[in-house]
Structure formats: C-alpha cells, structure tokens
Amino acid sequence: MSARSYLDVFSDAGVLALRELGFGPPYLKGGHSIFTGDFHITYVREIRAGGSLTVATRILDLDSKRFVFHQEMTGDSNGALAATAEHLQLNVGVASRKVEPFLPEIFERLRGARHGQGASPPRNVGRAASLMAGAPTR
C-alpha cells in the first residue's frame, strides 16, 4: 500500500472509533467538533494492496479538552504489525473556534473507554521523525 493508503485506513478507522465514542453528526449539530492537533504514522512493514488488515484503536491519555489515541494496523494473514498511528484530538466549539472542555457525558465515555482497554502496552508510542530514533518496534 502507498503512504496515502495507510493514512486513509487510519483516518477511516479513527472516524469509526470517534463515532462510537459519541463524536458523530449529533455532536457537530450540538455546536462541538473534534480537530486533529497532531497525527503521525510509524511504518513497520508493508501490507500489499488488497491485503486484509485490522486496526485496533485505544485511548492513551486525556484531559478535559483533548485526548490522544493510538492505532495499530496488523495484517490479517499473519498478525504482524504493519504500522502505528497517534492522534492528538482537540474538542473545539463550532461557534468559538477555540478548544473547549468536553461535555460531561463525553468526557465520562472517554474515561470509561480508556480504563476498559487491554493490558498489552501499545507499540511505538511517542516516536518522532528522527535519524537517531532507530528502528520501530515490531
């Protein structure tokens, strides 16, 4: 797959995860939105175009106005890690265009989702583009 394909897969999976957390069209109609403040992908190995894959999403951190979620893309044929993505999401008021606190019910849903995740540590968290960083975790 091309770099654009990885971006599309992570973005599409992220939209699905956000909707499950309550950030769908009703949230926008209520005057709230989610903006991406940071997004980066770490490529580990190739998934060939047309290959079957799975994206797992988890929340790494949150506060009253933002959260970080992490995704791992694995190939279905062998379960091998293909790429990871990290997203910093900001809660923004549609009218103010400023970062604002989450609605209480959304914040509680985020907290519940974060605490209900598996115990396995996420791979390649906090990586930055650097020649000194070394190879990503496989």
121 lies in a domain? Answer: no
133 lies in a domain? Answer: no
Helices (H), the chain: 3-20, 25-29, 104-115
103 lies in a domain? Answer: yes
Domain count, the chain: 1
What the block records as the tokens of 24 is 């769908």
136 lies in a domain? Answer: no
Class of residue 39 by CB neighbours under 10 A (exposed 0-12, middle 13-18, buried 19+): middle
What the block records as the tokens of 59 is 């929340």
CA distance 104 to 115: 17
CA distance 86 to 68: 7
132 lies in a domain? Answer: no
Mean pLDDT, rounded, for 36-54:
89
35 lies in a domain? Answer: yes
**pLDDT tens figures, 98-124:** 999 999 999 999 999 998 777 677 887
60 lies in a domain? Answer: yes
Mean pLDDT, rounded, for 28-39:
94
Higher pLDDT, 118 or 90: 90
CATH code, 41: 3.10.129.10
Q: What is the phi-psi region of residue 76: left when phi exceeds 0, alpha when psi lies from -120 to 50, beta otherwise?
A: alpha
Sheet strand arrangement including 66-75:
32-43, 81-93, 66-75, 53-62
Whole domain around residue 57: which residue ranges?
A: 3-115
pLDDT of 131 over the 60 cut: no
65 lies in a domain? Answer: yes
Q: Average pLDDT over the chain, rounded to whole?
A: 89
